[in-house]
Structure 1
Amino acid sequence: MSGYNKAGEAIAYARFSMGNYNATILYSLLDANDFNAGVSGSGNISTFSIQQMEKALNDYKQLYDNGNSLSESDFLMSDLKQILDFLQNCLEIANKEGSVKVFFG
């Protein structure tokens, strides 16, 4: 997945290897399960508002950023960090420009 500003510049990127089911976390947070095509995204682009990105980030924080030291695998923790970075970068652009585009590919 890639996030883009209005100028078409990539501002966020989340990459998951084939068979990595942690990608579904990001699809769920964005309420974008329709764009999940299994191994990769559907190839579609969707525009997300500030409110949608805020909700996704807030949902992430409630579910995964509870301050506890989890004994999760490094693999999961790395993916969660990548998801957090993606959401924060997309929200930053949405706050500046009113929305952000996400390519699901």
Structure 2
Amino acid sequence: MGHDIYGVNKEGKEIAYARFSMGNYNATILYSLLEADKYYAGVSGSGDWSTFSIQQIEKALNEYKQLYKNGDTQNWDLKQILDFIQNCLATAKKEESVKVYFG
């Protein structure tokens, strides 16, 4: 069990990935930044998809930067969260949205 969170483009190709073990509380940071707490199911994600707009992903990135000042790159979880959001934003800017799976 654990949290496997995927970002995909319109073709269904994976463009972002974040992995947290079931006991890793840092998973909640990503759910919170994406305002996707309803997809948090404790030891894993709910198994549902959600589509995010450019504005939603930009908001998540801005909140991340305010909270973590671009992140401690020595902290693996904060780095993977930043990478995930940035990759989703790049796709959303090209395609106007990005789809995320919370598993």
TM-score, normalised to structure 1, is 0.90
Runs of 4 or more above 6 Å deviation: none
Give the equivalent residue in structure 2 for 1:26.
Answer: 30
Once the two structures are superposed, the pairs formed by residues 43-54 of structure 1 within 5 Å of their partners are: 43-54=47-58
State the structure with bigger RCO (CA 8 A, min sep 6), 1 or 2.
1
TM-score, normalised to structure 2, is 0.91
SS at match of 1:34: helix
Give the letter aligned to residue 55 of structure 2.
Q
SS at match of 2:52: strand
Give the equivalent residue in structure 1 for 2:76.
Answer: 78
Backbone CA RMSD of aligned residues = 1.3
Give the equivalent residue in structure 1 for 2:40.
Answer: 36
Q: Which runs of 5 or more residues in structure 1 are unaligned?
A: none
Q: Which runs of 5 or more residues in structure 2 are unaligned?
A: none
SS at match of 2:23: coil
Amino-acid identity (%): 73
How far did residue 66 of structure 1 move? Answer: 5.8
C-alpha distance in structure 2 between counterparts of 1:66 and 1:101, whole Å: 24
Choose 1 or 2 for highest CA Rg.
1
